[in-house]
Amino acid sequence: MQKFDFVIVGAGSAGCVLADQLSASGRHSVLLVEAGGPDNSPYIHMPKGIGRIVGDPKRNLFYQTEPEPGNGGVGEVWLRGKTLGGSSAINGMVYNRGQPADYDHLESLGCPGWGWSEMLPHFKAIENHPLGASAWRGEGGPLGLSLPPADDPLNKIVLSALASLGLRRLEDLNEDHGAGAFGLLPQTIYRGKRMSSAVAFLKPAMRRPNLRVVTGKRADKLLFEGNRVAGLRCVDGTEYRCGREIILSAGALESPGVLMRSGIGDARELQAMGIQPIYHAPQMGCNLIEHRTLTPEYEVSSYRFSQNNRFSGWRLLAGVSAYYAARSGTLSRGSFEIGIFPKVTEGPGRPDSQILLFPYTIDPAKFPLGTGDTPQIAFAGFISRPDSRGSLKLRSSDPMAPPVIRPNYLATEHDRAVAIGTIRYIRKIAGAAPLRDIIVRETSPGPDTKSDEELLAAWSTKGGCGYHTIGTCAMGSNPQSVTDPNLRVRGVEGVRVMDNSVLPHMVSGNTNAPMMAMARRAAALILQGA
């Protein structure tokens, strides 16, 4: 059985960066194990191919959450990428780093070394930004980025409406917008193609003889000799041995399950499932945080301002021709065009809401492939930094049994206030000139949804998740935290976690960019120990 210095579980946003960085010197043998297959579908690499990828069982894992008041009592399905690139191969391609205060807050929670001054160089190192290098951004890095067209008819109108509301427009929306801002949304799209973590980091590294990538192998549990990790067992029985460390990068919905099946978790819960505990970690799977979103939709006066008619018939054929001829046109553009970061609740503090412009709408009856039948646009509203906490627990010791996920949305007064304020702010945008001149009507949740109670009901029954789950292996200096500030799993040796699960609080935005930059810093920590 082959033995590797480092075994990485999960080829997602973090795992691909780790594989690149840990194998770069050539001194260490590295194995990257991915549950899904190769990223060889053309729809992965075509930005608007997301409509064909989201929901494809070959490229997605599906997780059913428990029915709760915050999701309308019916639960919902959470998707995660199952291919090289992980969720970065199926996501909406938003490149949002969060804010400096998010990372400084990490330090204040007992995570030294993860503050903004330490993280900014890693962000800059990975970026190839179209605006060029500056104190805030990088140029020449492996991750190609782009900006939506400012002269698009809808973008011009929305940008003008936002300016009339008094927000600052930033040329680079990843600069400090602590006082509120808006602008064109940076995207992980380069020369008309999606830049997943696999494309940017893994594919160049796969030429190295000391890096091996294995697909189609879903992790079951870790193998220990005493409290020292010795290897990884996959669901199909395949085992891989490690000489130095195993790094779990399987995501906030998978990494805690691997650890619990390995005997690291709440000892009583594990024993009840027939799992022999190795280390009592009662916080394992707790502290789950997810963005709750609601997407108000608006009918507009013309298809000049909506992409809804571009994904069928002759217009789709024309779009395909434009894409393959010059990597241009609608199919080369991302899911969102403009980002808005307002403060929607009263009192001091930084922006507490994130709003993204959809230039189209999804017909639920046709999901995930079909758009609405009339010219419509939408604004996706997020509670930026929710403080409601949920949990993820094992259902059984069977690695194929789905976990028990309780999001616990809208459980705090803060989250409910931001939710209400976000809808009211979106309506404020829709009512600002010149955007109001092209809006025909609000189609969802509808103008009759007015009171606070009705707005909260809309969040519960018509909202969804942001696919940004964090916190289930949260790091910290507290001995009760699952991982320490160097990402090492407490109670055992040779195991680290580097994915969304280690974040003890939500960053102000999407999680793909933070995970890539954090993984770069994590690799430096790991190599220091090696």
Q: Name the burial class of residue 386, with classes exposed (0-12), middle (13-18) and buried (19+) by CB atoms within 10 angstroms of its CB.
A: buried
The one catalytic residue among 28, 122, 468, 505 = 468
Pick from 448, 459, 323: which is nearest to 386 by CA?
459
Is the distance from CB of 232 to CB of 1 less than 8 angstroms? no
Q: What is the pTM of this model?
A: 0.97
For 272, how many CA atoms within 13 A lie in the half-sphere containing its CB? 9
Rounded to the nearest 5°, which phi and psi values hold at 261?
Answer: -65, -20
Question: Structure tokens of 450?
Answer: 């007015």
Which residue reads 């995930």 in tokens? 368
3-state helix, strand, coil in the chain (%, to 5): 30, 25, 45
Q: Which CATH superfamily is domain 3-529 in?
A: FAD/NAD(P)-binding domain (3.50.50.60)
Residue 9, strand partner residues: 33, 248
- Which residues, at least 6 apart from 484, have a Cβ–Cβ distance to it below 8 Å? 475, 476, 477, 490
Is the distance from CB of 149 to CB of 330 less than 8 angstroms? no
What pLDDT was estimated at residue 367? 60
Tens digit of pLDDT at every position of the chain (530 positions): 689 999 999 999 999 999 999 999 999 999 999 999 999 999 999 999 998 998 899 999 999 999 999 999 999 999 999 999 999 999 999 999 999 999 999 999 999 999 999 999 999 999 999 999 999 999 999 999 999 999 999 999 999 999 999 899 999 999 988 889 999 999 999 999 999 999 999 999 999 999 999 999 999 999 999 999 999 999 999 999 999 999 999 999 999 999 999 999 999 999 999 999 999 999 999 999 999 999 999 999 999 999 999 998 999 999 999 999 999 999 999 999 999 999 999 998 999 999 999 999 988 777 655 788 899 999 999 999 999 999 999 999 999 999 999 999 999 999 999 999 999 999 999 999 999 999 999 999 999 999 999 999 999 999 999 999 999 999 999 999 999 999 999 999 999 999 999 999 999 999 999 999 999 999 999 999 87
Q: Where exactly are the structural domains of the chain?
A: 3-529
What pLDDT was estimated at residue 210? 98
DSSP class per residue in 146-159: B---TTSHHHHHHH
Is the distance from CB of 231 to CB of 238 less than 8 angstroms? no
What pLDDT was estimated at residue 370? 73
> Is 414 tagged catalytic?
no
What pLDDT was estimated at residue 369? 59
How many Å apart are CA 365 and CA 371, to the nearest integer?
A: 9
Task: Report CA-CA distances (Å) from 474 to 288, 390, 481, 505.
Answer: 9, 13, 6, 8
What pLDDT was estimated at residue 362? 87
Q: Name the burial class of residue 243, with classes exposed (0-12), middle (13-18) and buried (19+) by CB atoms within 10 angstroms of its CB.
A: middle
What pLDDT was estimated at residue 179? 83
Question: Structure tokens of 104?
Answer: 């400084």
